[in-house]
Amino acid sequence: MSIPFTKMHGTGNDFILINEYNERKILNKQKSPLATKFCERRYGIGSDGIIFLLPPTLPEADIKMQFFNPDGKKGEMCGNGLLCLAKFAKDKHIIKGARMKVETLAGIRQIEFKYREEFLAKVNMGSAQFTRNKIPAKGSGTFLTEELYGYKVNACNTGVPHAVIFVERLEVIHVEKIGRKIRHHPIFPDGTNVNFVSPKNDTTLQVRTYERGVEKETLCCGTGAVASAAIAKKTDKINTDNIVVEMKGGPLTILFQEQTIYMKGTAQTVFTGYIPITEE
């Protein structure tokens, strides 16, 4: 048996998307092995994760996102994945209007979009959580500031945990070497994503991210962009409510409106195909 998939990316953060909303269902026990096999870039399709589009279980949601990292573990949610999922649901005619509410393990995320020559979307990312029990992180004190491996580390949760480190020059940072050590530091019981951030000017941050579950640097990370902007504001590294975050794959815009953070970005379809799976 084979099932259709769509390969998509949001600013270089790429995903495999599978429609279970109104097409063939896949057994839950098959999903983790599918992620580890087909996210692999040499012997699989290659992606930073796999997203299953499902009917919602909550009455206030329109669709549900089920996300697996390349290591086969479930992720709470994914910022760029939400952008891709929104375009995917619109392309499949599951969503009729210009907005949708998506159920995730991190809560419901509302998305508004414009779809003309290019797909442009704004995601309500909620608010950043800075307390240690929300990140989660061990230790005392509300806002995490720790010295880890010679780096000053702040952290927050923007749907998933993120550590943020401010540096002067991104190009000299060994993102994967240092990121891997901090990602596995015991202060983070669930692990963490790690962002290296350099303020470019009064409105722009440059960011490189080591992603948990991918276990290497990715071209872009939506929740990482949000976390970097949120901590930059909290630590007075930047004071505007409209922040451009430049990553290797391109820019995302992060907007702050009272206690709510919005992320603006694009999504593109790369190709489609079929995945063989064992029928049980």
Give me the residue spans of the domains in the chain.
2-125+266-276, 145-254
Quick: pLDDT tens for 210-261.
999 999 999 999 999 999 999 999 999 999 999 999 999 999 999 999 999 9
Q: Which CATH superfamily is 145-254 part of?
A: Diaminopimelate Epimerase; Chain A, domain 1 (3.10.310.10)
- Which pTM does this prediction carry? 0.95
Quick: pLDDT tens for 193-212.
999 999 999 999 999 999 99
Domains 2-125+266-276 and 145-254 share a fold: yes
Catalytic amino acids? 78, 221
Task: Please provide the DSSP assignment of the chain as one string.
Answer: -EEEEEEEEETTEEEEEEE-SSS----HHHHHHHHHHHS-TTTS---S-EEEEE--SSTT-SEEEEEE-TTS-EES--HHHHHHHHHHHHHTTS--SSEEEEEETTEEEEEEEEESSSEEEEEE----B-STTTTT--SSSSS-EEEETTEEEEEEESSSEEEEEE-S-GGG--HHHHHHHHHT-TTSTT--EEEEEEE-SSSEEEEEEEETTTTEEES--HHHHHHHHHHHHHTTS---SEEEEEETTEEEEEEEETTEEEEEEE-EEEEEEEEE----
Class assignment of domain 2-125+266-276?
A: alpha beta
